[in-house]
Amino acid sequence: MDEAARRALLAWYRAHRRDLPWRRTADPYAIWVSEAMLQQTRVDVATPYYERWMRRFPTLRALAVAREDEVLGAWSGLGYYLRARNLHAAAKQVAASPASMPTTAEGLRALPGVGPYTAAAVASIAHGEAVACVDGNVVRVVARVAGITGPIQAAGRRQIEGLAQQWLDPRAAGDWNQAMMELGATVCTPRAPDCTRCPVAGPCASAGLPQAAIEAIPGKAKPAAAPRPDLVHVVVVRRGGHVLLVRRPSGGLLGGMLGLPSGARTANVVASLVQAETGVRVEAPRGAAVAVRHQFSHRTWDMRVRTAAWRSGEPRSPARWVAEAELAGAPLPAAMRKALRAAGVEA
């Protein structure tokens, strides 16, 4: 990309960029939060979460002293909950250090959960470091402009990262990185790219190709088949409006979040399943199971939701009773809220 194209891209960005709340600040903490949320999340979905988060945890120190349940509750619904736990852990690490939050991409990489993209975004946008951000949008823009048509595997990724760094304008690194991402998000989109609005159509190797050919760049590697577990989830409600929930182990999918007692679909004796996992005895469920499907970005869960009445016993850790009135603010993932609603419990 030549100097004229770089000037055109920056001018386009400054004239047409979307007014997003994290673009109204140079606070590295706020930028970091936005980048963590925007991974695997659309801007329109992330924006209200970001605004609520910044009201609740306006500073890194406010996040550092928060309880994990508060943090996961504020994140609930965004998915990929490891991102929230990493934000929390990194905030505590920085708050406990005599030094302030790192200002370079290399320094930021030392924080829990901060990868090359997030480190580059915070360092360039907040501090002007001349380091390229390479997210999915940037990969697509670089591949199309440079005419890289094959699937982006290891060697192709290195080539794209090298070009992104080569093209970066070191005099305006933050705006440049955001311009590349904005171009991919709003013009050079996966489907129906609008080359007539593109400020770098001139040097683009893909300009003028049929739309189907442009959409096919970059090529896609064949994804591995994702598992589709069939699970039974049990909603247990005690007198007084309390629901039995279990905290999931920290590692893995939905780690650290609250969920329903559950087991493989072959677990036909629901009462035994609940007692084995929580220590609580329940009546045998009545009525048919309700089928609920939840689509994660990378897998599908097919759930059978059963409702069982509490009989006796108190839950042992990590299970506990949660009042129905408190479910809205509890660290419950979207899949569990969907299962609860299927059983008639407002969550």
- Is 35 labeled as catalytic in the residue annotation? yes
- Return the C-alpha torsion angle 275, 278, 282, 285, nearest 10: -90
CA-atom Rg of the chain in angstroms = 24
**230-342 matches 3-215 in CATH topology:** no
pLDDT in single tens digits along all 347 residues of the chain: 889 999 999 999 999 999 999 999 999 999 999 999 998 789 999 999 999 999 999 999 999 999 998 999 899 888 888 899 999 999 999 999 887 899 999 999 999 999 999 999 999 999 999 999 999 999 999 999 999 988 887 778 899 999 999 999 999 999 999 999 999 999 999 999 999 999 999 999 999 999 999 999 998 877 666 666 678 899 998 888 899 999 888 766 777 889 999 887 655 578 888 998 999 999 888 778 888 988 877 778 888 899 988 999 999 989 999 999 899 888 888 889 999 999 889 87
Fold of 3-215: Endonuclease III; domain 1 (1.10.340)
Name the CATH superfamily for 230-342: Nucleoside Triphosphate Pyrophosphohydrolase (3.90.79.10)
Q: Where are the domains of the chain?
A: 3-215, 230-342
Q: What is the rounded CA–CA span in Å between residue 339 and residue 347?
A: 9
Of 35, 129, 182, 277, the active-site residue reads 35
